Structure 1
Amino acid sequence: MDKTLANYPDRINVVIPLFNDWQALGLLLERIQAVNEATLVSRMNFLVVDDCSSTNYTALPAGVGQSLSILRLFRNVGHQKAIALGLSHLASLPEQYPTIVMDSDGEDRPEDIPELIKTGLNSPNRIVFAHRAKRHESLIFRLFYEVYKRVFQLLTGKVITFGNFSLVPAQQLRKLTHVSEIWNNYPGGVIRSRLPYTAVPLERGRRLAGESKMNFVSLVLHGLSAVSVLMDTTAVRLALFCVIMVVVSVFGIGVVVALRLFTDTAVPGWASYLVFSFLIVILQAFLISLLLVFIILSYRTQPQFIPARQFQDFVEKVEKVY
């Protein structure tokens, strides 16, 4: 790794969103120092985005990397928005550096940081995500996560196999923070931004301390937020589905009418109910399509939230630990 870092900037920012996971953060910092080479750790500058935690740290490891700062927020905004605020704060500084985004719980393994950097060097200017080749969550969670990925692909035409663990090149940082969609969903926003990105298969780690705050409701909301950043594409696909339903319904009505008027085939008594049902489907498809049109028009006319311009409204202070 020493040779890899020879031509790499002497500073690497690490953004860590956090909500009450101070114990896990302490263990994460210790593990980063333990499993990585000193030449790499010495370049790291940690920015912990405190998402308005109800608790505070009692002690954190000192001397891990160049510095450790805590970005205190006025209110709880959620994991994805905390990432956007942390990136925006770094983008507002005079100098930009490569920036790693990772969770505080340890599920983003510190020993995989060199692999992100290596992939970034081989793919300059590309945002590098960790593709989850292996996961350790419960069977039910993994099942719903697979459902989420398939639904996302069906609605958007995009494949999303990665989460937040990533490396953002210095030259892409300011561009990324001007993408409004990262406010709702960071990986989905990168996909929407059309900034170049790639993914490297990495194993997902295990939580270092505490309990995961991700439950079924959180997973559903996360999935909806990911789909929302590609609302235009989703609306078009839903509209095409409605058109298909109308075509099928019209064909069904045509078959029933043709049997009644042009053949001697006895038409069962329920045929009228079938025609009525097809008409209801056509009406519903029309109303859904009309609603989608209004949603998209409203979405396009609403002013967009640009994290790079408005992040300071959420920042209470920047607290330097060391």
Structure 2
Amino acid sequence: MLLMQQISSTVDPVLYGRFAFLVVDDCSDATLKQPTQSYVGQSLSILRLWRNVGHQKAIALGLAYLADQPDQYPTVVMDSDGEDLPADIAKLMEASTQQPNKIVFAHRSQRHEGVIFRFFYLIYKTIFRLLTGRIITFGNFSLIPPHQLQKLVHVSEIWNNYPGGVIRSRLSYMAIPIERGNRLAGNSKMNFVSLVLHGLSTISVLMDTTAVRIALFCVLATGVSLLGMAAVAYLHLFTNVDVPGWASFLVLSFFVVILQAFLISILLIFMVLSYRTQQHFMPANQYRDFIERVDSLPIVSTPAPVVSSAS
């Protein structure tokens, strides 16, 4: 539990003494064991899952478990690899004190990944903005007020993507600039395919908006194609300009674009209708199906903030 050791050594002792920890073990490390009492603040609970569901779903299950507890406290969501710096918890809490009704995210002001990763991440953010009309500059590291947690676990979209689900939920949120840390140990298991799937899952959460924007693009492409076909026909029928031999191929290409735009629009309509009629996974109601057991250390006194860490 390198993260807990780092938290205990960097967080103010008075603040650290108020922490209770919930570690979500999604079977990614079969050797995960309970640390000694000196590293767990007031308490430690380990949520053991039946199977590896991925870090986004693990976060949703952890939040649903916390929301189902009799006592509610501010919840900090952290990744357990150490890239979320424990010293920044105080910054999230300070921002939450100033804006108590908002979920506070950590906006990554500086990243330590390689040039290639940052290049593709910039492409992802650009595509996300074009398709959704939103700007996303934050990840999982966040603080959730107690009353917002109850609402958030009834948002089915956090099952696919936690930050995207918050955006879709229309709950109040904000982001503050916080630098990203370095991994405590090992290398990230996230490869290029995983990154693409993660980006697509974020975009899919805002499917309605994305579908409308793609449909508008199809309408625009159809309009441009019709204008192109009209221009070629006008030149051929009403002017003395010699239309070159590739004009017929150009008209055919415009027609293919129109046909593709029509088919894409039809496909989008069926996808959105199907999405709206499906029964979606609700973390607040169904999280127990994924929990094998909960290992807990005794709570020595009443905790305040709760730190949820998805491993």
Q: Give 1:61 shift.
A: 4.0
Taking a change above 3 Å as real, the CA distance of residues 214 and 283 of structure 1, as seen in their structure-2 partners, is same
- Count matched residues: 297
- Counting aligned pairs with the same residue, the percent is 65
Q: 1:6 is matched with which residue?
A: none
Moved more, 50-59 or 207-216: 50-59
Q: How does 1:91-240 map to 2 (within 5 A)?
A: 91-240=67-216
Q: 2:23 is matched with which residue?
A: 48
Q: Give 1:54 shift.
A: 4.6
Q: Which runs of 5+ in 2 are unaligned?
A: 299-311
Q: 2:37 is matched with which residue?
A: 62
CA distance in structure 1 between the aligned counterparts of 2:33 and 2:55, rounded to whole angstroms:
22
| Partner deviation per Cα, 1:3-55 (whole Å, 9 max, x = no partner) | xxxxxxxxxxxxxxxxxxxxxxx111111111111111111110000002352
Give the alignment partner of residue 9 of structure 2, picking from 14, 34, 43: 34
SS of the residue 2:177 aligns to: strand
Q: Which runs of 5+ in 1 are unaligned?
A: 1-25
Q: Give 1:59 shift.
A: 6.0
TM-score by length of 2: 0.94
Q: What amino acid is the match of 1:154? A: L
1:30–1:61: 8 Å Cα contact kept in structure 2?
no
CA distance in structure 2 between the aligned counterparts of 1:85 and 1:54, rounded to whole angstroms:
17
CA distance in structure 2 between the aligned counterparts of 1:61 and 1:210, rounded to whole angstroms:
22
Q: 1:250 is matched with which residue?
A: 226
Q: 1:14 is matched with which residue?
A: none
SS of the residue 1:134 aligns to: coil
CA distance in structure 2 between the aligned counterparts of 1:273 and 1:92, rounded to whole angstroms:
64
CA distance in structure 2 between the aligned counterparts of 1:158 and 1:191, rounded to whole angstroms:
9
Relative CO higher for 1 or 2, CA cutoff 8 Å, sep ≥ 6?
2
CA distance in structure 2 between the aligned counterparts of 1:58 and 1:227, rounded to whole angstroms:
36
CA distance in structure 1 between the aligned counterparts of 2:191 and 2:90, rounded to whole angstroms:
30
Query: Which structure 1 residue ranges, 4+ long, deviate > 6 Å from structure 2?
Result: none
CA distance in structure 1 between the aligned counterparts of 2:13 and 2:113, rounded to whole angstroms:
31
Give the alignment partner of residue 52 of structure 2, picking from 31, 55, 76: 76
CA distance in structure 1 between the aligned counterparts of 2:12 and 2:235, rounded to whole angstroms:
78
CA distance in structure 2 between the aligned counterparts of 1:321 and 1:98, rounded to whole angstroms:
20
Q: What amino acid is the match of 1:164? A: N
TM-score by length of 1: 0.90
Q: What amino acid is the match of 1:53? A: S
| Partner deviation per Cα, 1:241-279 (whole Å, 9 max, x = no partner) | 000000000000000000011001111111111111111
